[in-house]
Amino acid sequence: MGGMILIRLMCALSLVVALAGCTQKSQESEEKLTDADLNNPVKCLGKPIAGLTSDQLRKFHEGEVLFKKEFTPEEGLGPLFNGKSCFECHGQPLVAGMEGRDISSTSILNYARRVPGSAKAKKPLKEVIQNISKPDVDFFLTRGGPSLQRKSITTEFPDKFPFDCQLDFEQVPVEAELQSNRHTPPIFGDGMIDMITDGEFAAVAMTEHTENPALAGRPIAAVDRYTESARPARFGWKNQHVNLFNFTTGALNIELGLTTYAQNTENSLDPLGDNPRCLDKYNKAGSPNDKGKTLLSLAWYQTLLAPPPRGQITEEVTKGEKIFEKLDCAFCHRPNWQTAKQCFVGDPDSELPLIKPLEVTALEDKEFHPYSDFLVHDMGADLADGIPQEGAKGGEWRTTPLWGLRFKKFFLHDGRTRDLHEAIAMHGGQGSSSAQMYEKLSKEDKTALLAFLKSL
Ligand code: HEC
Ligand code: HEC
C-alpha cells in the first residue's frame, strides 16, 4: 500500500519536473562576449540559439554528439564514402559546423561531361560553359558520378575484411572534362535560413528584377524528399537543396555512405570491385542503415545552431558598410531577412515515417543578417564549373552568405583563395561591375570595406 503511494508520488513529481523542464529557458547562449571573445571562434561558434527549452537543448546536444560521431562499417558507413563523421569536414577550427579543415581532404569533387555529339559539345568549352544545363550533361551515373567517393571501407579498414572481399574506391573517369571542387561551407545559422517562408525568395527575385535586371538573381526550385513537392532551394553552392533535412539526407548518403528511410539506396554501387555482394554480411545496421533517429537528430542540431555573433563595429567598419552598399555588394549579399512567424522542426524522437513537428518559438519572427539573397547569379566564365545542379547552370552560383566571414580561411566555391581582396576581384559575370568599382576605390576605402567584411 505504502509502496503504491510512493510510486504515485514519484510519478507526480517527475511529471512536475518534466513540465518545468518544458518551460524553463536555457541560459547557455546568453553569455556576454568581450571584444577579445568576438574574434575567438571557440567562444562565438557552435552554440545553440538563445531561448531554447531544456528539452530542446537536450535534443541539440544529442545531435551534436552524432555530428561528431565517427561511424563504423558495422553501423552502415560506406561501402564507399568520403568522411566517417560530419565533423571531419565541417570542423575547422575545431568547432562543429565550421568550414573544411583543408581543401585537399575536405572538399567534394563533382564531375561530368557534355553529352558526346550534342550541340554544346561541338563548341569550345569556354564559349558554352556558363550556359550548360542538366540536359546537356552526362553525370557518369553508372560509373560512380556525379560526386566522387574517395574512400572504401575495405581500404580504410583493411583488418575487418578478408582479402577476397575488396572494394575499389572511385576514380574520376578520364573523359570527365567538367570537374568541380567544392569547399566545405560552415553551417552556423542555417536554421534561420531554413525558416524563411517560401514566398520570400520569389519576392526578392522580383524586387531585384525591378531594381536592376543586370544584377538580378534567379530563384531555384528543388524537390523536398519528405513532401515530394518542389520548393525554393536555399542551401548548397548552387542552391541545390530546400532544407537541412534534405541536405542531411544527401550528406549521410553521399559523404558517409549511410542510407536512411528518406534515401534507401547506396549512393554508388558501381564500380564495386570483383565481388560486390561479399560485403553484405558485414553490414550489421540493416536496411536502411539509419532508421531515422540519426537523420532527424542531425537536422535538429543544425537547425538550432546559432548564427555567428557580429564582430566589433568600429568607425572604419561603419564606413566600410556604406561602401558595401554603394558598390552594389548588398544587392546580392542582402543583409536583412526574417524567419517565419511560426517555426516547426521535426522531432528527433518521432516514430518514422511520420515526422512529428515540434514548435520552436526561439526561431520565430527573428530578424537575422546572413548577407545573401539565396538566389543564383552568373559569375562569369572563370568561376564557372560547367556543372548544372537542379536549375542552376554551369556558370551560376548562390550568393554566398557572408556572416561569420572573419572566421573563414578559404573563399569562393572551391576555396581557391585565402585573400578577401582576391575573392572580390574574381567576381565576374553579374558581379563584374561591383568588382570593377572595387578596384577603383582609394586605398583607404578598400581597407574600410575589408574591415567591414572582417566584422561579419
Ligand atoms: C567529405 C567532406 C564532408 C562531409 C563528411 C560532410 N560534408 Fe557537408 N558539405 C561538404 C561540402 C564540400 C559541402 C558543399 C557542397 C556543395 O554545395 O556543393 C557541404 C555542404 C553541407 C551543407 C550545406 C550548407 C549550406 O549552408 O549550404 C550542409 C547542411 C551539410 N553539408 C551538412 C553535413 C552533414 C549533416 C554531414 C554529416 C552527415 C556532412 N555535411 C558531412 C563536405 C562534407
Ligand atoms: C551579382 C551578385 C553579387 C554581387 C554584386 C557581389 N557578389 Fe560577392 N558573391 C556572389 C556570389 C554568387 C558568390 C559566390 C561565387 C563563387 O563562390 O564562385 C560571391 C562570393 C563572395 C565572397 C566569398 C565568400 C566566401 O565565403 O567564399 C565575398 C567575400 C564576396 N562575395 C564579397 C563581395 C563584395 C565585397 C561585393 C561588392 C564589391 C560583392 N561580393 C558583390 C554574388 C555577388
**What is the tens place of the pLDDT at every residue in 417-444?**
999 999 999 999 999 999 999 999 999 9
CA-nearest residue, atom 38 of ligand 1: 252
CA of 303 to the centre of ligand 1 (A): 14
Which residue in 208, 194, 199 sits closest to 330, CA to CA? Answer: 208
> Around Cβ 345, how many Cβ atoms within 10 Å?
24
**Amino acid present at 201:** F
276 has pLDDT over 70: no
Decide: 235 in ligand 1 pocket, CB within 6 A.
Answer: yes
Decide: 247 in ligand 1 pocket, CB within 6 A.
Answer: yes
Q: Ligand 2 test: best mutation among 399, 411, 446, most atoms within 8 Å of CB? A: 399
At 178-206, the pLDDT tens digits run 999 999 999 999 999 999 999 999 999 99
Which residue in 225, 215, 224, 220 sits closest to 237, CA to CA? Answer: 220
Q: Ligand 2 test: best mutation among 220, 400, 407, 421, most atoms within 8 Å of CB? A: 400
Region at 429 (left for phi over 0; alpha for psi -120 to 50; beta for the rest): left
Decide: 399 in ligand 1 pocket, CB within 6 A.
Answer: no
Q: Which ligand is nearest to the CA of 384?
A: 2
At 243-272, the pLDDT tens digits run 999 999 999 999 999 999 888 888 765 545
Q: What is the mean pLDDT of residues 269-284?
A: 67
Q: How far apart are CA 299 and CA 296, in angstroms?
A: 5
pLDDT at 308: 96
Q: How many Cα atoms occupy the beta-carbon half-sphere of 9 within 13 Å?
A: 6
**pLDDT-derived band at 274, boundaries 50, 70, 90:** low
Decide: 413 in ligand 2 pocket, CB within 6 A.
Answer: yes
Decide: 238 in ligand 2 pocket, CB within 6 A.
Answer: no
**pLDDT-derived band at 7, boundaries 50, 70, 90:** very low
CA-nearest residue, atom 39 of ligand 2: 329
Q: Which ligand is nearest to the CA of 189?
A: 1
Decide: 295 in ligand 1 pocket, CB within 6 A.
Answer: no
CB 245 within 8 A of CB 299: yes
CA of 250 to the centre of ligand 1 (A): 9
Cα 151 to Cα 28, 89, 90, 102, 126: the distances in Å are 38, 14, 18, 17, 32
pLDDT at 283: 76
How is residue 339 written as a grid cell?
A: 524567419
Cell 566600410 belongs to which residue?
320
pLDDT at 278: 77
Decide: 324 in ligand 1 pocket, CB within 6 A.
Answer: no
pLDDT at 272: 57
Decide: 385 in ligand 1 pocket, CB within 6 A.
Answer: no
Which residue in 193, 299, 319 sits closest to 247, CA to CA? Answer: 299
Q: How far apart are CA 65 and CA 60, in angstroms?
A: 9
Average pLDDT, whole number, for the chain?
A: 90
pLDDT at 143: 85
pLDDT at 339: 98
**pLDDT-derived band at 279, boundaries 50, 70, 90:** confident
**pLDDT-derived band at 23, boundaries 50, 70, 90:** very low
CB 309 within 8 A of CB 38: yes
Cα 162 to Cα 11, 159, 279, 328: the distances in Å are 53, 8, 10, 60
Q: Which ligand is nearest to the CA of 412?
A: 2
Q: Which ligand is nearest to the CA of 407?
A: 2
How is residue 334 written as a grid cell?
A: 542582402
CA-nearest residue, atom 30 of ligand 2: 424
Decide: 182 in ligand 2 pocket, CB within 6 A.
Answer: no
14 has pLDDT over 60: no
Q: What is the mean pLDDT of residues 106-121?
A: 96
At 49-108, the pLDDT tens digits run 999 999 999 999 999 999 999 999 999 999 999 999 999 999 977 888 899 978 888 999
At 203-213, the pLDDT tens digits run 999 999 999 99
Which residue in 108, 233, 226, 222 sits closest to 172, CA to CA? Answer: 108
Decide: 184 in ligand 1 pocket, CB within 6 A.
Answer: yes
pLDDT at 84: 97
Exposure b/e, 75-85, CB count within 10 A at least 16 = b: bbbbbbbbbbb
At 306-326, the pLDDT tens digits run 999 999 999 999 999 999 999
19 has pLDDT over 60: no
398 has pLDDT over 70: yes
Q: How far apart are CA 132 and CA 125, in angstroms?
A: 10
Q: Ligand 1 test: best mutation among 75, 86, 180, most atoms within 8 Å of CB? A: 86
